[in-house]
Amino acid sequence: MIRVGVLGAQGRMGSEACAAVEGADDLELVARVDVDDARDPLREADVVVDFTHPSAVADNLRWCVDAGLHVVVGTSGVGQDLLDDVRGRLQPGQAVLVVPNFGIGAVLMMRFAAQAARFFDSVEVIELHHPKKADAPSGTATRTAQMIAAARAEAGLGPGPDATTHDPDGARGARVDGIPVHAVRMAGLVAHQEVLLGTEGETFTIRHDSLHRSSFMPGVLLACRGVAGHPGVTVGLEALLDLD
């Protein structure tokens, strides 16, 4: 039995994650912690899952790592500096798995976008989310843009053919590693993303839709079961999926 603690347990994702863990025969929910709770009950867990807030995740992650726990981070906003800091704090055999998106389709979308990137002159990312989302751009869009930029750099491609010289209000989107990223917030949505690629005479669009937060739960459970088998710091659920 793997003992699991959830940080952000009363939130949209945390509450779904608690229910999913409780419904799994091989997992036991031993701690639900929210913003005003002491974190000590998490010490009973083998694995802690964080679904809190981009402003809280660094402190939570350092606390869990210093407590010797394996951690699955679902919260967005984890940057390279934090990953480097955490890597230096880990005990031998301890694991941190940062997952920008637990949806299997989203993982494939990111991978397909990176595969396609070298064949197209232009690429832009449009992420669309519910209006209560804390941050923009999404962690998924950031990760997608980073993967696309790395693939383009490896292929020796420069910037896309964007002739815009006057964009005082940022209508061309934010730039993540040079890739334009656009964020839409709209009532009725959950979590969606399009990657638009274009070259001479053709375009190619990859779209993923999470229609309900249940879409993330198989990935959350997979991460709880698999994190301990991947010591060190790992980014992306693909490490636990046999994609090749």
Ligand X SMILES: O=C(O)C1=N[C@H](C(=O)O)C[C@H](O)C1
> Would you say 14 is a known binding-site residue?
no
Best CA proximity match to 52, nearest among 6, 19, 115: 6
Residue 10 in the binding site for ligand NDP (CB under 6 A): yes
Residue 56 in the binding site for ligand NDP (CB under 6 A): yes
Complex with ligand NDP: residue 8 or 197, whichever CB lies closer: 8
Q: State the pairing for strand pair 122-129/174-176.
A: unpaired
User: Smallest distance, Å, CB 39 to ligand NDP?
Assistant: 8
Contact in structure between 92 and 232 (CB atoms under 8 Å)? no
Residue 5 in the binding site for ligand NDP (CB under 6 A): no
Residue 118 in the binding site for ligand NDP (CB under 6 A): no
Whether omega before 131 lies within 30 degrees of 0, making that bond cis, reads no
Residue 102 in the binding site for ligand NDP (CB under 6 A): yes
**With left for phi above 0 and alpha for psi between -120 and 50, is residue 218 left, alpha or beta?**
alpha
What 3 state SS string does 48-107 have? EEECCCCCCHHHHHHHHHHCCCEEEECCCCCCHHHHHHHHHHCCCCCEEEECCCCCHHHH
Contact in structure between 126 and 206 (CB atoms under 8 Å)? no
Q: Is 132 a catalytic residue?
A: no
Q: Is 53 a catalytic residue?
A: no
Residue 33 in the binding site for ligand NDP (CB under 6 A): yes
Order across the sheet with 2-7: list the strands. Answer: 27-33, 2-7, 47-50, 70-73, 95-98, 232-235
Number of other residues whose CB lies within 10 A of the CB of residue 132: 8
Q: Which does 129 bind (CB under 5 to 8 A by kind): ligand X, ligand NDP, none?
A: ligand X
Q: Which of 70, 129, 182, 208 is catalytic?
A: 129
Complex with ligand NDP: residue 35 or 211, whichever CB lies closer: 35
Stretch that binds ligand NDP, among 30-38, 143-151, 169-177, 225-233 (CB under 6 A): 30-38
Give the footprint of ligand X on this chain (CB under 6 A). 76, 100-101, 129, 133, 138-140, 191
Q: Give the residue numbers of the binding site.
A: 8-13, 32, 74-76, 99-102, 130, 139-140
Interface positions with ligand NDP (CB under 6 A)? 7-8, 10-14, 33-35, 51-54, 56, 60, 74-76, 99-102, 134, 139, 216
Q: Catalytic residue positions? A: 129, 133
